[in-house]
Structure 1
């Protein structure tokens, strides 16, 4: 198969273990060549904020970086661009990435090992941040107080009159009423994307959670899979110094912190400015 044909196959099948290689078996692509590391994002505010954090950290570590000329349609498309060698670094999410890997093995309780086994040669999942961008189920403070709701299992005591819906109800990881019934024995009525549903299906970084003081319900049975954000990189593009710089954000970037950053950008601040201010406040960036 020609090198061009190999690239075409890789672009169609995300993370199947296919990688363009040279005679020594090393993954090669545009983003691996000499020059700045190329950071890509999808169109979401959250992705642009995280990418800005990565860019500032890498620049502060002496790594030359630039932003990709296009934004991708989804986290999966952005990850595919890393695999194809079109970009060097991108924010990625655990379960979203694994869902795109046909036949990938899963190591229960060990997401790092699972990703390591599933990714093709030359593509590396760096350790994740504490922040999760996945789906959560939340209720208003008044609903939580009225029904004494702290976790999803508590919904059993609320009877059968509550509805389930919200802006993230169409997400692949959003649990259906049937899934919640099976896992927790609760009875809810589906309400689609209605923002007035009693139990709201939202992204964990949705600004409405902090703005409205919503109570996120605990999910001890993990019916919603983890979606921690992490840097997906083309290994030749970042040296140890660059990788270490990205790792510094892990424990400090919580879901609540990422939600605040996202909200500030939605309110008009640029991702770069928001990222610089936050990193300086956390002692991770010294330059102005």
Structure 2
């Protein structure tokens, strides 16, 4: 818990900064649009329809969609104007959350102004007020409580939605939640949820005081609440200001995908770099495509990927010419296409592997994927969140003609739980996962070689090619990790009792016998 709380100031600071910026941008767009929509029914219908449509898009999907869009724009500006901008992290999260904040603000602004008694506005015009004066001095004060109710709703939505910024590389309180769900570290999930809920409640109550102060025409009340909001925001983001005011060497940005092994390997790399006196930032819980694109764009400096994933997802290859040919081809093609350096294989493979409970496999007489194909119509297949959309699944499905009774997607940790509880009969496991042995699972043979090799490799971004610290890191890790050592480290994070943090597991892995 002490280790978790030590990270809280920075994560809370980024969460508060992101939420405040998104709410401010949403207000800047939605308030003027609401003023205009209150007087134009046609515009009101269009504006509410568009913002309502945005609300139908799942927030995580909207956040993810902004990243490739911004990356494309950044690449275009870099090619035409000579400069780009960071497409990972704060910007996509800011834009997506601002869109989500707009609907309640816009709807309440238009409804509040439209609800002002026409006799009042007529009286304002009768005493010689211009439309602008009538809006500012009469209509807006009367509509303020309704508008503030929309702002309160938007604030709570934005603070809650900011927890979903983690997969696009933005530090937030969601880091606790995503990592905790993956490793079943419920204390971590609790810290993230409690901090986010607490922040939302405080902001909501202070905005409520602002609303009461405006309604009662008490400037001291609403002014004091706004001052408290401003001071609270300043205090929350203070941890971000201190490093900015102190000259520091540029940090290495280490990336990781969204499962335990990646957390451990990212910590292993970060700890080695920090041991050399370097400053390191971690960007974890990235999707496969996001991680590689961010590396190629120079937004992260290094991360571990797997040759099979790169072969299928980046090079779009479906053949399997063998482990060494895959490795050699990737080293050449990634450098040619994107300038990405395949710095070193780490020495172990983490392959996709179809796994079943041993007793269930024996009952059905299933030892290979060919055997599984005949039984598939009566079985439920479980996969991780991206497996069924990956080229590897398409290749296996085509090779063996799988027709499962149903397919279900799970967070990787819950995928193993589903297999244990019988909610899934077979899952897309990972060969370096310690739970295969711990849960007495059997891995099915792949006689047709539909799945490519998945050697773990260290990738380095083009902007860090030739960096001496990363070259030293690659030399220290090259062919040094065995699959048994990796399974032990993974299981230390994933086991039910006595689990370790990824940082602690990485420290043990660093001194584990090879």
Same fold (TM over 0.5): yes
Work out the CA distance in 2 between the residues paired with 1:106 and 1:174. 10
Higher relative contact order (CA 8 A, sep 6+): 1
Matched residue, 2:343? 126
Work out the CA distance in 2 between the residues paired with 1:159 and 1:103. 30
Report deviation, 1:247: 0.9
Report deviation, 1:85: 2.0
| Match runs of 1:168-187 below 5 Å | 168=384, 170-171=386-387, 172-173=390-391, 175=393, 179-180=396-397, 183-184=399-400
Q: For residues 27-48 of structure 1, what are the alpha-carbon distances to aligned partners after superposition, in whole Å with 9 as ceiling and x for unaligned?
A: xxxxxxx745332223433321
Q: Which moved more, 1:230-239 or 1:96-105?
A: 96-105
Pair 1:38 & 2:253 matched: yes
Q: For residues 176-226 of structure 1, what are the alpha-carbon distances to aligned partners after superposition, in whole Å with 9 as ceiling and x for unaligned?
A: 6x955x534776433434643322233445554233211011113222333
Matched residue, 2:441? 214
Pair 1:64 & 2:294 matched: no
Q: Which structure has the larger Rg?
A: 2
Distance 1:125 1:105, change over 3 A: farther
Distance 1:64 1:105, change over 3 A: farther
Pair 1:74 & 2:291 matched: no
Work out the CA distance in 1 between the residues paired with 2:502 and 2:302. 16
1:140 to 354, 357, 369: 357
Work out the CA distance in 1 between the residues paired with 2:285 and 2:467. 20
Distance 1:3 1:236, change over 3 A: farther
Distance 1:152 1:40, change over 3 A: same
Q: How much is the aligned-residue C-alpha RMSD, in angstroms?
A: 3.9
Q: For residues 23-74 of structure 1, what are the alpha-carbon distances to aligned partners after superposition, in whole Å with 9 as ceiling and x for unaligned?
A: xxxxxxxxxxx745332223433321111122334455x3625123x43531
Report deviation, 1:6: 5.3
Work out the CA distance in 1 between the residues paired with 2:448 and 2:83. 41
For the 8 Å contact 1:41–1:90, the answer to whether it is kept is yes
Describe the SS at the equivalent of 1:54.
helix
Structure 1, unaligned stretches of length 5 or more? 13-33, 284-288
Report deviation, 1:266: 9.7
For the 8 Å contact 1:159–1:187, the answer to whether it is kept is no
2:457 to 212, 230, 233: 230
Report deviation, 1:276: 0.6
Pair 1:89 & 2:302 matched: yes
Matched residue, 2:219? none
Report deviation, 1:245: 0.6
For the 8 Å contact 1:153–1:186, the answer to whether it is kept is no
Describe the SS at the equivalent of 2:256.
coil
Q: For residues 52-102 of structure 1, what are the alpha-carbon distances to aligned partners after superposition, in whole Å with 9 as ceiling and x for unaligned?
A: 122334455x3625123x435313322222222223211122233344436
Report deviation, 1:119: 1.6
TM-score relative to the length of structure 2: 0.42
Pair 1:241 & 2:241 matched: no
For the 8 Å contact 1:132–1:228, the answer to whether it is kept is yes
For the 8 Å contact 2:382–2:428, the answer to whether it is kept is yes
For the 8 Å contact 2:433–2:487, the answer to whether it is kept is no
Q: Paired residues, what number? A: 257
Matched residue, 1:190? 406
TM-score relative to the length of structure 1: 0.70
Distance 1:191 1:97, change over 3 A: closer
Report deviation, 1:231: 1.0
For the 8 Å contact 1:162–1:198, the answer to whether it is kept is no
Q: Which moved more, 1:42-51 or 1:256-265?
A: 256-265
Report deviation, 1:129: 3.2
1:52 to 267, 271, 280: 267
